[in-house]
Amino acid sequence: MTSLTELIPAPLSVSTWGERVFVLDEDTTLTAGPGVGSAERWLRTTLQAATGLPLREGAPGRAARNAVELRHDDGLPPGAYRIAVRDDRALITGGDPAGAFAGAQTLRQLLGPDAFRRAHLGRTRWELPEAEIEDAPRFRWRGLMLDVARHFMPKEGVLRYLDLMAAHKLNVLHFHLTDDQGWRIEIRKYPKLTGTGSWRARTKIGHRASPLWDDRPHGGHYTQDDIREIVAYAAERHIGVVPEIDVPGHSQAAIAAYPELGNSDVVDTASLNVWDTWGINPNVLAPTDDTLRFYEGVLEEVLELFPADAGPFSPFVHIGGDECPKDQWRESDAARKQIGELGLADEDALQSWFIRHFDSWLAERGRRLIGWDEILEGGLAPGAAVSSWRGYSGGVAAARAGHDVVMCPQQWVYLDYRQDAGPDEPVPIAYVRTLEDVYRFEPVPQELTPEESARVLGTQANVWTEVMEDQGRVDYQVFPRLAALAEVAWSDLPAPADRDYAGFERRMAAHYRRLDALGVAYRPPTGPLPWQRRPGVLGRPLDGPPPSA
């Protein structure tokens, strides 16, 4: 049994009724009223495997003894839940199905770390402390951006990360599916996107300045049925999947597959391969009507695979829009002609035209565009939203212009950044961002008015995988810092300087045992284990605190 003071994310309130416990046994029933069936299915499957208890179905609405019951209560806000454990029964009440599911996650924490295992270890006693917990999320968007383009994560790994997200009450997977180094989603209209674009011949090991190469081909992609499975699996866990199809930069994998997409009057696009190193790539999409038609064909299939009603924020489609060098456009006769025919001022306005086209195209189909904060340059349609990554300034500008914002500033929540300044840190990238740094991150900038602050949908951590070649490396960079981000996103915390980090560390001591049970290769508080180090692999450490913005 877990102490009531060891929950992560921290709930709004906990009230206790003495030292009594509710003991689950072979006769304990599990049942659900109308509207909370997905939480009941998940809880039954999970706890039957971990506890070995049958948890037979009971009659709903009877408040029977020796029972765990889930109910819906319109009086609770969306996403909120209440757990009451008393008199040999446990009642989880949710304001909606997502709230009931969040309550089920908390109940699993109360049962102790062994409840996070996939099989019964022979434990004979399972206890819940008698108490009442009231809880609700602070932000609606509580996300993780997972880059599977730089290093491919097989489908089973993505499903595993959805389970890890659910365990931390995160509800948005921002799925970065395309980049210079790989195209990861099957598009039937354009088979070469995966036939050619999903594989690169070799891979840079470490930072782009490293002399080391892995000469094995690297790649892979998700079939359309894989994508449907991922989306459905996420929806069962009340997680929405927001796909990212990156344009007009970060597109060399697409150009390698279809050279006509590139600026062929400037470079020999037919000679380009899927990129094998890291950084900002000069090879960007040609700003032509033919390119627009091509990506409309891509997005038509993307919209079918990611339905607008499949989970939180499912109407959104992320189109990237970041780090698009304009050098090739400046040299391109075709691009200059397009600027003239459209009556645009320059190449920056040409990128704005490109983004605004898909803004309108998506809106006509009942969907919403979201992109990195560069898309603000040139203006956006009213329904578009912004992922603010270059500090806070993009998010502030977007909110003041009436756009919804997801705050994910690189200075705070880029989990590829190194976690310590020590020499044993594997492939040290950028500034040090510790567990405490993430815990003291505040998503809402102080300079926003209350009306502008309401535009902040929430926050997410971003996991760029250039130097994360497998699941163990991703785990190491993501955890335990994702637990801190989850609490920032969910819990009603005080101002950053006033947050009880010592108390969070104490709760993390219990949470590490849950992560152990889940098989997460997190960074230990004492530093990397010998097999987590990467001696001799060049990184790019930056000294001092990151610049504030």
Q: Which residues are catalytic?
A: 179, 250, 323
Mind giving me the DSSP string for 215-281?
-S-EE--B-HHHHHHHHHHHHHTT-EEEEEEEESSS-HHHHHH-GGGB-TTTS-GGG--S--S-S--
Q: What is the dihedral of CA 324, 327, 332, 335, to 10 degrees?
A: 40
Instruction: Tally DSSP H helices, then E strands, for the chain.
Output: 17, 23
Q: How far apart are CA 256 and CA 190, in angstroms?
A: 13
CB environment 337-375: b (16+ within 10 A), e (fewer): ebbeeeebeebebbbbbbbbbbbebbeeeebbbbbbbbb
The amino acid that residue 184 corresponds to is R
- The neighbour count for residue 400, using CB atoms within 10 Å, is 15
Mind giving me the DSSP string for 318-380?
EEE--S---HHHHH-HHHHHHHHHHT-SSHHHHHHHHHHHHHHHHHHTT-EEEEEGGGGTT--
Asked if 263 contacts 249 with a C-beta cutoff of 8 angstroms, the reply is no
Regarding beta strands 178-179 and 182-183, do their DSSP bridges make them parallel or antiparallel, or are they unpaired?
Answer: antiparallel
Give whole-number Cα distances, 460 to 189, 239, 316, 474, in Å.
Answer: 32, 13, 15, 16
Q: At CA 146, angle to CA 312 and CA 98, rounded to 5?
A: 25
Asked if 317 contacts 367 with a C-beta cutoff of 8 angstroms, the reply is yes
